[in-house]
Amino acid sequence: MSQPLRLGIAGLGTVGAGVVKIVRQKAALLTERSGREITITAVSARTRDKDRGVNLSHYAWEDDPVALATRDDVDVFVELMGGSDGPAKAAVEAALKAGKDVVTANKAMLAHHGQMLAELAEANGAVLRFEAAVAGGIPVIKALTEGLAGNDIQRVMGVMNGTCNYILTRMEDGGLTYEEAFAEADGLGYLEADPTLDVGGIDAGHKLSLLAAIAFGCKVDFDAVELEGIGKVAIDDIRQAADMGYRIKLLGVARMTGRGLEQTMTPCLVPAASPLGQLVGGTNMVVIEGDQVGQIVMRGAGAGEGPTASAVMGDVMDVARGLRVSTFGQAASSLKTCVPARSATPAPYYLRMALIDKPGALAKIATALGDSGVSINRMRQYDHVADAAPVLIVTHKTTRAALEAALEAMTATGVMVTEPVALRIENV
């Protein structure tokens, strides 16, 4: 039998401890499926004496993850510390320079430094795998780099942050305000230490940029992702969307157009009966559309010990089997610098606003829309609140540029009591 594959694990939080458990509890199964024994040689974390629910006494300890990454008795460096820079990046670089394979769950690091790290891996004959960095237990990276490699990808989209999906789901099924649902998610420990990473769309934007790089053969460009969080979504939007047969999701969409690569991570309305519309709670879903295969839908747990550790071990098993796949599905040197394009694909939009309760106010809004080339599909006016008249408008398909021109013209009319909420309606 082949020599054992020896792991060095840096980061012993929820996911790191989960990986240790799988290696210990499923040793025979892993050997049978990979053809070689998989062992852990050494580990590293910020503190030694923390109770992690797993026995670590059999492994060497390194206080410095860089030292762990360069040990002679480590074949694969498993980075589960997190952070776009600092110790995680330094340790991964050290491992790759030493010719060691790397498995990571670090989406932020790859979103900011993925091209450099991919080139470093190839220069040193190593592989860099990151299935656990996107959508938890859903094997979407493997699907794009391997199973769908014969397709021209037309669109990648999905719900990639379980916390945001949980908040939006609770607003609908519990009748909660955004603030109430946010507090509930925080109390359950769902939010990052910096909540804006979740609710601001940053976490999900990191993931979308990685998927777009693979799908369209581009260098990772997180800075080109249009980001808008869910903080402006009100319970009224949730209710009115439902009344029209839609649900609101923080939706990532990447597509290649004649103008360049569009990448958006924004709240959108999706049909309630669609797979994305049916997604509830903290679950993730990724939808891939290819010219040969059509539409593929993958759904599963986007976070948590078991699902994320499962994804890490999937990468480890591929290394153990001798599978060598380029980081982003093709040689890093062949990845293009894709022109970033602001979303210009026409779509209908949902608009919510409150107008001054005076004759002619609504007519001014309709004129502002028409003069900007935006036509109204349907419109509703709801019961007055104090001296304001709540109005809901759904447009026909229009471009974002035309819509923004219309919003500016609407603001200039002087009849708006509140800033309008504008959400794209995505055809899924």
Just list the catalytic residues: 207
User: Which candidate, 130, 317, 270, places its Cα nearest to that of 213?
Assistant: 130
Contacts of 167 (CB under 8 A, 6+ apart): 178, 181, 182, 185, 199, 230
What are the tokens at 344?
Answer: 């210009």
Q: Nearest to residue 172, comparing CAs of 239, 126, 109, 220?
A: 239
Query: Mapping DSSP to helix (H, G, I), strand (E, B) and coil, where does residue 64 land?
Result: coil
Question: 352: part of which helix (H) or strand (E)?
Answer: strand 349-356
Residue whose pair of structure tokens reads 């609407």 in the numeric block: 410
Angle at 232 (CA atoms; ends 228, 233), nearest 5 degrees: 105
The answer to whether 286 touches 298, Cβ cutoff 8 Å, is: yes
Asked whether the beta carbons of 44 and 61 are under 8 A apart, the reply is yes
What does the alpha-carbon distance between residue 329 and residue 318 come to, in Å, rounded to a whole number?
14
Residue 142 tokens, joined: 């493997």
DSSP structure class, residue 145 = I
Reduce the DSSP state of residue 417 to 3 states and report it: coil
